[in-house]
Amino acid sequence: MDPEYKKQKDAARTRIDSRYKISGFISSGTYGKVYRASHIATGKDVAIKKFKPEKDFDPHASAFSQSACREIALCRELRHENVVSLDEVMIDPADRSIYMVFDYAEHDLLQILHHHGHTERKPVPEPIAKSLLYQLINGVAYLHANWVLHRDLKPANILLSPTGTVKIGDLGLARLFQQPLLPLFSGDKVVVTIWYRSPELLLGARHYTKAVDMWAVGCIFAELLILRPLFKGEEAKMDSKKNIPFQRHQLLKIFEVLGTPVPQPQGGGIAGMGAMGGEWAQPVWKGMDWMPEYHNLKGFPNYPPALRKVIHQSAPHFRSERGFDLLARMLEYDPNKRITAEQALQHSYFLQEEPQPIMK
């Protein structure tokens, strides 16, 4: 680009501080930083996400990282009450940083869980927990209906507006899964924060579906009940050559709660996680022996299913059989049998049992 023309273009750009007044720092991550601000003309509260330039200290490099490009492209198209709303995108003429301006959300679900688990030391009231869960699923159903995988659902990315409306945020890892330009595995070798990562991802799946998001929703549902992560494993880090390690400890944590799955039914017993009440046999995951990391399961302990016991011990207030059935269907090992967001919205836990969920 001609230097003089570039100079003129940059001079014509609106600077972020000429339109917004920064009032505080919210958080930071590998992508950059998030600030609280207000629109100077209207006084509207907003959250401003500032991306780091793709190559630090190089003013000639593109500021558009892969994560920024994806998030901007998707957020410009998505419009739903339970998905964060993008107001505008701005580029700083000085350092080429990208700014995404969103509606401001007062809290996130992680703060709510911390408040109830550590400050008040009492459970989230069921009407609130049920409404938060329903709104989360409603937002996920919208994303999936529009062929979008979030791929990083966790409490810190579930925002709450001042009116109590859930807003799914941080779409930096989100991908279109209808006719993607590249296979999902090609662009991002590791997706979803470890405690919310589905077993098919942990076993090295090269192809995966919207079921990975529903597993994460199931983990969040359990966390709303017991006020701590259900599967709190220790993550094995990549080595210097960026080889993806086998997440043995995380799988152990899952097996301890859900039982060690087998690729074929054993002994003719009832298998699976979906039935309410009764004796629970060892879960079956048909096709798990074809997963790339299956060979690493040799020597794993043979745990019986214990989800009901864990929930009842940690959340004795929760006695809904329909609610437990919904949780179990979200935490189904086989992604082909895992409940979808659309099916979850129609589950009897929401439609036939009090208290009814509300949207605010």
CB 339 within 8 A of CB 297: no
Given the residues 2, 10, 45, 152, select the one marked as catalytic: 152
User: Using CA atoms, how far apart are residues 18 and 41, in angstroms rounded to an integer?
Assistant: 10
User: Using CA atoms, how far apart are residues 289 and 263, in angstroms rounded to an integer?
Assistant: 6
CB 199 within 8 A of CB 292: no
Q: Which ranges in 40-197 belong to alpha helices (H)?
A: 66-77, 109-114, 126-145, 184-187
The reply to whether 152 belongs to the active site is yes
User: Using CA atoms, how far apart are residues 159 and 84, in angstroms rounded to an integer?
Assistant: 8
Quickly count: other Cβ atoms within 10 Å of residue 204's Cβ. Answer: 16
Identity at 54, one-letter amino acid code: E
Write b or e for each residue in 36-58: b if 16 or more Cβ atoms lie within 10 A of its Cβ, otherwise e.
bbeeeeeeeebbbbbbbbbeeee
User: E-strand spans in the chain?
Assistant: 20-28, 32-39, 45-51, 86-91, 98-103, 107-108, 148-149, 158-160, 166-168, 175-176
CB 357 within 8 A of CB 350: yes
Task: Return the active site residues.
Answer: 152
